[in-house]
Every structure is written in C-alpha cells, then in structure tokens.
Amino acid sequence: MTKKLIVGILAIFCTITTFAQNTPTYPQPKEGYKRVDLIFPKIENDDQFKVEVRFGMETELYPCSKADFYFRPDALVKGSGIKDGRFPYYDLTTNQAEVFEGFMNDSCKKEKRVKRKILSDNSLLLEYNSYYPIPFYIPESYTLEYRLWNTITKEFTTVNFK
C-alpha cells in the first residue's frame, strides 16, 4: 500500500513539474510601458512567411515633411519566458528616440505643424510563429506595427496595433 502511495505521489510530482516547465512567465510592464502581444493565426506554409516588426509614435511635424525616428539597437532587449530560451519576448527599454525630419522644400517650414504618426527606422525580422504569442514591452506612447512578408512572392501585408 505505501509503495503505491509513494509511486502515485512521485507520478503527480513529475507531472506537475513537467507542465510547470512549459508555462512561460513574463515580467509585468514597467511604469510608462505597455505589453503588446503579437498573435498570428495558423496558416498553411507558415515557413514561407517572415514578420517585420517596427514601432510607431505620434509627433508634431510639418505636413509636407518626411520623418522617421531611430533608437539605439541595444535598446531592444530579447528575453525569454522560460530559462532555456523558449517563448521569447522583446523589451524596448527606452522611449528616448531621435526624430529625423526631412523637408521637400523651404516653403514647408511656413506651414502649421500637425500631429502625424511616424515609423521607426529600426526593424526586427522574425520567423512566422502561430504557436504562442510574442510579447513586446513598449512605451505607452508607441504603437507596434508589423508586416507579413511572403518569402516566395515577396509581397507584404501591414498590420497596426495600439
């Protein structure tokens, strides 16, 4: 009787331990940051797709200017939800970005500034993954946008998140 009890307890312990190791734990967003999860649907031939991730922000610009922003590449830190490196997440550790505004002509500077969304020059290229969400921790004022690239046809689709 005690042998069966000991074997039963060991079996339960091993089962709990096994499932606990496959459950990712992610950090809570820092103050001033939010978590955005990329969740992709299951599709056929998902190995033919890549995901290009970029960040967006709203700022005041001249209407006729071309603009984008840039942050240091080491500001985007990759972590994992499990110690062995599985279940990645990405943390944009700074909201300090350099905004570059180019002008089409000199008369542009005489116009009134308007609020516009611009995209980062920085991008991240990921494998298409429909098995688990990919969390991103970004400043609350940023958006996350991605393009699905078909590596065979070279076509893309852009999707915006808040």
Distance CA 148, CA 8 (A): 48
**Block means of pLDDT (10 residues each) for the chain, length 162 residues?**
62 52 83 94 88 92 86 90 88 85 74 89 91 93 91 71 47
Count of alpha carbons within 13 Å of 159, Cβ hemisphere only? 12
Asked if residues 112 and 23 have their Cβ atoms less than 8 Å apart, the reply is: no
Asked if residues 151 and 89 have their Cβ atoms less than 8 Å apart, the reply is: no
* pLDDT for res 15: 52
